Amino acid sequence: MTRSNTKATLSAALIVKNEAKNLAACLDSLTGWVDDIVILDSGSTDDTQAIAEKYTSHFYIKSDWQGFGLQRQAAQNYVTTDYVLWIDADEVVTEELRASILNAVKQKKDQTAYRLNRKSWVFGRFIEHSGWYPDRVTRLHKVNEGRYSDDLVHEKVLLNEAITLENLNGDLTHYTYNDLQHYLVKSASYAKLSADQKEQRGKKTSLSNASLHAFACFVKMYLVKRGFLDGKQGFLLAVLSAHSTFVKYADLWIRSQPKRPK
C-alpha cells in the first residue's frame, strides 16, 4: 500500500572517521542512483573530508563522540529524503543490491523496512560461513519509521511498532579489515566500548565467565556455524573472535578489582 503517486526519495547516510582508504569506492557505488549522500565525520585527520566533498555538499562534522548510536542519530537529523540507506565507508553496494534497493523504494510500502545481506572479505577471501554470511543487517527504512538506538557500540535500528522486515536480493560487500593489525586495533576499540556499556548498566563478570564466553564463541563459529568451510581464514577468525570475546569480559572484570594503592 502506498501513500501517494509521487516518487520516493532516498539518501545514503554514513558516519566516518579517517576513511580515506575506503571512502571513494563506497561513494562510487552510490553515485548516480541515490538522491543525496549525507556524511557525518567525527574528526578525521586524513583526506576523508576532501574525498567526501567530491561526492556531496552534505558533509558535516561532529567531533564530540558519544558512541555509534548517538552519532548515527545525529547523522539522521541531516537526512531530508523519504528513505535512508545506512552504509559504512568500508562497504560497497553491488549492482544486484542496487536494483533491489531501488525497487523497494519505488514500491513505497508503508510500515516496511529492509535487511541487506552483507558479505565480508577477510584476510584474502570472502567469508561464506562462520555465522558471517548471510549477515543480514537492517539498513533501509523510511526516515520517519526508524531510528538508531543509543548504544555505544553494536547499535541497532529501532523501528516503529508493526514494521515488517523484508530481505533484499544482492550483497553489500564489506571490506572489513585491511590486515591483522587493523583487526586488533578495531577489535580492542569495540571491546572497550562494549565493556564501557556493560559497566554503565551495572554489569559485572568473572574470568571464568570470560573464558566460557570465549570458548563458546570459538565452538559456535568454527563448528556450529561451519567456519571450517572457510579454510584457514575461518579458523583464524574463530580464534581471533574468541580472543576478542575474552578481552571484552576480562576488561569488565578488571574494572571491578581493587584500585592501585596510593
Q: Is the pTM of this model over 0.75?
A: yes
**Is 185 found in the same domain as 150?**
no
Q: Which range of residues forms the domain containing residue 213?
A: 180-254
**CA separation (Å) from 181 to 28, 38, 67, 261?**
27, 30, 23, 34
Q: How many domains does the chain have?
A: 2
**Is 83 found in the same domain as 54?**
yes
Report the percent of the chain where pLDDT is more than 70. Answer: 98
Q: What is the pLDDT of residue 224?
A: 98
Question: End of a domain among 125, 158, 174?
Answer: 174
pLDDT in tens, 180-227: 999 999 899 888 888 888 888 899 999 999 999 999 999 999 999 999
**Is 69 found in the same domain as 156?**
yes
* CA pair distance 20, 52, nearest whole angstrom: 9
**Is 205 found in the same domain as 164?**
no
The CATH number covering residue 23 comes to 3.90.550.10
**Is 187 found in the same domain as 111?**
no
pLDDT in tens, 16-36: 999 999 999 999 999 999 999
pLDDT in tens, 218-236: 999 999 999 999 999 999 9
